[in-house]
């Protein structure tokens, strides 16, 4: 880590506020970044980190009054072109890569291709430049291979390379938003070397992470946000991990109480969903069982592994380990096999991964199983319409019109249609990833009622969610993930949102009895409560 003097900061943000429909996401936030340093940016979910980054990147416009200066020159916040011209570069959590294209094409996105004297693409120049750039970052792989087939660290490396390409021509600051969120430990270590190389080449870095060990390993200073406000900026050598936790959550991390550990195990025939030794993107061997009629939540900050667990279980991400629905083992990497076994899955990003926004509600709902609405002579339109009407009425979808296009509905009503599609399968195991993300309060209440009804009807429900309050309101038990591991499964009775926050902010070795080891009959990740 670099040594710094008290010279004027390279990047200075002052008085930054941002409101959404009257709700303040940021309030008078100040941020200073020194030349040559790596500045950590931390905070709980909802602290304002993502909003701050989106304002810097030009995705959101700030409230009036904020100022921004980079290298002595003022630039307008909320203006993507202005941020780029000033020298800001970003690698967001979704990376912005096209999975079907190779590294050469992805590196050319935005800047365009190098041209020959005849005006055609100079693939030789593209290849030579890519080999040199990626080589400087320590990468060697097939540049024509689709990036979707590369390792997670290699994809992140391409995104970083694209962001800093030509930094001597203007890039001064690189913002990395949770770059290791989906990386196993070995690949994260490799990425740290990439970050250090970029920093050593003269680029100052804002490093956003929930993983405190990364902050202590990489960063010179750390800025803490809480509830949309700046709490403190400290030199990392002067901090301890408990001290950083105290700044982040506002009090000491006392450790989870053994009174919340679950001990009861269900009988074999009561298990709706069983995960055994599940390994995949960002997840170490993970065990969990969900009983019929039970709702089990999974909590964890960004990068804990929670984000990929649902896709791994459903088969839309490569995995190792055992997944069973009831007594049926599900073939790895096969959503079709998961559905056939009795699993239904509603992903977090419905618009990208579930919804057909230009199709009707009828088409979106019945596509999950078309054989129910087909006869010998083809589609039975009236049967399809009546079944759609029944589901729309039952789940209080507005407008209750089978022929309305999904794009015309509010986010909450779109989500109800996605739930109807899943519930129509009569699943034994229902996996819901951020089921109320982007919906209003009224829709959230209705969706919670729908989920509870599914459990009452006998389904085992697994809910992956960011909000502690939602998990506590909805679930019988909550599995807590930290750094790819399940550190324990806890009964929600008597558990508070602060308790759950403490658990998710703890270290990977923390378990329910507050020690590094716990007997499997007290908090084993595979334990199952008695159900609702």
Pull the structure tokens for residue 186: 């070995």
Please check whether residue 405 is in contact with residue 357, taking contact to mean a CB–CB distance below 8 angstroms: yes
pLDDT of residue 96: 81
- Tell me the average pLDDT across 143-170: 77
pLDDT of residue 251: 61
- Report d(CA 297, CA 430) in Å as an integer: 12
pLDDT tens for each residue of 7-29? 678 999 999 999 887 778 899 99
User: How far is residue 202 from each of residues 2, 164, 175, 311, measured CA to CA in Å?
Assistant: 11, 11, 14, 38
Pull the structure tokens for residue 7: 């010279």
Please check whether residue 530 is in contact with residue 296, taking contact to mean a CB–CB distance below 8 angstroms: no
CB burial of residue 420 (10 Å; 0-12, 13-18, 19+): buried
Comparing 126-135, 183-192, 418-427, which segment has the lowest mean pLDDT?
Answer: 183-192
pLDDT tens for each residue of 88-132? 988 887 778 888 998 888 888 867 888 888 889 888 888 888 888
- Report d(CA 185, CA 121) in Å as an integer: 38
- Tell me the average pLDDT across 60-88: 90
> How would you label 275-290 residue by residue, b for 16+ Cβ within 10 Å and e otherwise?
beebebbbbbebbbbb
Pull the structure tokens for residue 375: 């006869």
User: Which three-class secondary structure state does DSSP give residue 248?
Assistant: helix
Q: Which residues contact 426 (CB under 8 A, 6 or more apart)?
A: none
Question: Considering the entire predicted model, what is its pTM?
Answer: 0.62
> How would you label 60-92 residue by residue, b for 16+ Cβ within 10 Å and e otherwise?
bebbeebebbbeeeebebbeeebbbebbbbbbb
- Tell me the average pLDDT across 187-215: 84
Is 363's pLDDT higher than 80?
A: yes
User: Is the bond preceding 399 in cis, omega lying within 30 degrees of 0?
Assistant: yes
User: How far is residue 130 from each of residues 107, 125, 471, 472, measured CA to CA in Å?
Assistant: 8, 8, 45, 48
pLDDT confidence bin for 41, thresholds 50/70/90 = very high
Closest CA to 266 of 244, 284, 288: 288
Please check whether residue 68 is in contact with residue 12, taking contact to mean a CB–CB distance below 8 angstroms: yes
Is 531's pLDDT higher than 50?
A: no
User: Which three-class secondary structure state does DSSP give residue 63?
Assistant: coil
pLDDT of residue 1: 54
Domains of the chain: 11-99+171-249 (3.40.50.300), 253-342+427-532 (3.40.50.300), 356-425 (no CATH)
User: How far is residue 320 from each of residues 101, 187, 212, 276, 278, measured CA to CA in Å?
Assistant: 26, 18, 28, 9, 6
Between 372 and 357, the more confident residue is 357
Any alpha helices (H) in 165-269, and if so which ranges?
185-200, 212-218, 241-249
- Report d(CA 461, CA 294) in Å as an integer: 6
- Report d(CA 13, CA 205) in Å as an integer: 15
Is 36's pLDDT higher than 70?
A: yes
pLDDT of residue 373: 64
Please check whether residue 194 is in contact with residue 135, taking contact to mean a CB–CB distance below 8 angstroms: no
């Amino acid at each position: 880590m670099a040594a710094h003097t008290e010279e004027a900061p390279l990047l200075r943000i002052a008085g930054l506020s941002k409101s959404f429909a009257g709700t303040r996401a940021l309030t008078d936030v100040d941020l200073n970044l020194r030349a040559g340093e790596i500045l950590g940016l931390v905070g709980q979910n909802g602290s304002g980190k993502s909003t701050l980054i989106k304002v810097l990147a030009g995705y959101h416009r700030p409230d009036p009054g904020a100022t921004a200066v980079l290298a002595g020159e003022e630039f307008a916040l909320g203006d993507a072109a202005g941020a780029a011209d000033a020298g800001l570069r970003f690698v967001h959590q979704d990376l912005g890569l096209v999975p079907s294209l190779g590294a050469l094409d992805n590196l050319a996105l935005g800047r365009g291709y190098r041209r020959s004297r005849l005006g055609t693409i100079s693939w030789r120049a593209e290849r030579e430049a890519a080999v040199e750039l990626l080589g400087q970052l320590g990468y060697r792989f097939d540049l024509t291979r689709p990036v979707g087939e590369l390792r997670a660290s290699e994809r992140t490396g391409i995104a970083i390379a694209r962001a800093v390409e030509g930094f001597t021509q203007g890039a001064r600051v690189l913002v990395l938003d949770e770059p290791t969120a989906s990386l196993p430990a070995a690949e994260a270590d490799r990425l740290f070397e990439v970050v250090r190389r970029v920093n050593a080449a003269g680029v100052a870095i804002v490093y956003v992470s929930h993983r405190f060990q990364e902050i202590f390993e990489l960063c010179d200073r750390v800025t803490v946000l809480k509830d949309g406000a700046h709490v403190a900026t400290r030199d990392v050598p002067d901090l301890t991990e408990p001290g950083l936790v105290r700044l982040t959550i506002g009090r000491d991390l006392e450790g989870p109480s053994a009174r919340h550990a679950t001990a009861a195990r269900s009988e074999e025939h009561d298990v709706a969903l069983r995960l055994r030794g599940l390994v995949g993107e960002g997840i170490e061997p993970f065990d969990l069982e969900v009983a019929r009629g039970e709702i089990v939540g999974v909590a964890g900050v960004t990068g804990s592994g929670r984000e990929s667990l649902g896709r791994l279980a459903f088969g839309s991400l490569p995995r190792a380990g055992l997944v069973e629905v009831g007594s049926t083992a599900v073939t790895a990497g096969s959503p079709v096999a998961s559905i056939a076994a009795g699993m239904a899955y509603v992903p977090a990003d419905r618009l990208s991964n579930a919804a057909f926004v230009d199709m009707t509600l009828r088409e979106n709902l019945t596509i999950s199983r078309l054989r129910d609405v087909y006869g010998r002579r083809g589609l039975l339109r009236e049967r399809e319409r009546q079944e759609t009407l029944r589901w729309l009425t039952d789940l209080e979808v507005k407008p209750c019109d089978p022929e309305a296009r999904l794009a015309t509905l509010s986010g909450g009503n779109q989500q109800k249609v996605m739930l109807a599609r899943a519930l129509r399968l009569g699943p034994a195991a229902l996996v819901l990833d951020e089921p109320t993300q982007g919906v209003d309060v009224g829709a959230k209440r209705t969706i919670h009622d729908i989920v509870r009804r599914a459990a009452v009807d006998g389904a085992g429900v697994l809910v992956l969610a960011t909000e502690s309050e939602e998990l506590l309101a909805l679930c019988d038990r909550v599995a807590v993930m930290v750094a790819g591991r399940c550190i324990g499964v806890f009964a929600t009775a008597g558990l508070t949102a602060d308790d759950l926050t403490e658990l998710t902010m703890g270290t990977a070795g923390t378990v329910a009895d507050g020690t590094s080891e716990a007997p499997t009959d007290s908090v084993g990740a595979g334990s199952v409560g008695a159900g609702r």
